[in-house]
Amino acid sequence: MELKRRNRVNAEFSMASMTDIIFLLLIFFMITSSAISQSAIDVKLPTADATNASVQDPTTVTINEAGKYFVNDKEITKEALENYMVNELKDEANPSFTIRADENTKHKDVVFVMGIAETHKYNLAIATTESDTP
């Protein structure tokens, strides 16, 4: 007497669910990588020893070597910078911005922007690059 199984186990593996997961991961990484904003203005940042990287502020004041001012990659004259910054940060609960200054920028240009932060009680961060030496 020959006994046959009625329910056969299918030994095939379906790749459909695996490809769905891969596509979801791909979309996730594409979206999150585009959220990291890099400025198009080329400046050589000074180096500093950093133990932890801080969160980048959404508002960035960039000062290039020639002494030109940019707020979020938009060029602003020195005379209009303070009013522009006040209007830019007026709706924030904890107003803050980052200064990105070229390493060869004149000290007085950086101090001018720091004075704006001091006058209006804005929190301030200065962008640097990580040094290679331990």
Encode pLDDT of 37-56 as tens digits.
666 677 777 676 655 555 55
Residue ranges per domain, the chain? 47-130
47-130: in CATH 3.30.420.270:
yes
pLDDT at residue 76 tops 60: yes
For residue 39, what pLDDT is reported?
66
In this structure, how many other beta carbons lie within 10 angstroms of the beta carbon of residue 106? 14
For residue 54, what pLDDT is reported?
54
Average pLDDT taken over every residue of the chain: 81
pTM over 0.75: no
Q: Which residue has the tokens 């209007």?
A: 87
For residue 24, what pLDDT is reported?
92
Side-chain half-sphere of 22: how many Cα atoms within 13 Å?
5
CA end-to-end span of the chain: 79
